[in-house]
Structure 1
Amino acid sequence: MAKAVIIGIPGETGLWLADLGAGTVKPLNPTGDLATVNDLRKTGGTFVNNVDLSVAVSSVQVALSGHVDG
């Protein structure tokens, strides 16, 4: 089972590394294949691997309330 997730959202050029075990999120400087995938993302591409739910919300409060922005 995955213990970390790399996150990229539209409008953000950078990537983030969420360490699920430690409960932390930190900026990530991509290298290698990840840098290539990030370059494709910047031009509108999408890459999903081993994730079965991903939702971007406008705030933590929205997520904690159980709502999903439309």
Structure 2
Amino acid sequence: MANVIVLGVQGSSELYMVDLDAGTVTPLVGGLPEEAASLAALRKTGTVVTKGVDFAVSLSAPLAAAGSFHES
């Protein structure tokens, strides 16, 4: 399983590094390795690239996700 995910949100040119082990999200500064940079460049054409992630959704607020969880 991946421990780090590079994430980009539609409408923003920024990329973020999500460290699942540390529980942090930080702006990605500096360059990406050549292959990853080529994939990131595809974003400009509207191409969506996913690898190793089987669920992702963009929500307008954190409470939208939390409101969907119900404990029994």
Sort the TM-score into its range (normalised by shorter chain). Answer: 0.7 to 0.9
Q: What does residue 3 of structure 2 align with?
A: 3
TM-score by length of 1: 0.84
TM-score by length of 2: 0.82
Q: Which amino acid aligns with 2:51?
A: N
User: Residue 40 of structure 1: CA displacement?
Assistant: 0.6
For residues 39-61 of structure 1, give each alpha carbon's deviation from its aligned partner in whole angstroms, at most 9, with x where no partner exists: 11122011110111011100111
Matches within 5 A, 1:49-68: 49-66=51-68
Task: Identify unmatched segments of 5+ residues in structure 1.
Answer: none
Moved over 4 A (4+): none
Q: Secondary structure at the match of 1:39?
A: helix
Q: Secondary structure at the match of 2:26?
A: strand
- For the pair shown, the structure with the greater C-alpha radius of gyration is 2
Task: Identify unmatched segments of 5+ residues in structure 2.
Answer: none
User: Residue 64 of structure 1: CA displacement?
Assistant: 1.0
Mapped to 1, the partners of 2:9 and 2:28 lie a distance apart of 13
Mapped to 1, the partners of 2:57 and 2:13 lie a distance apart of 18
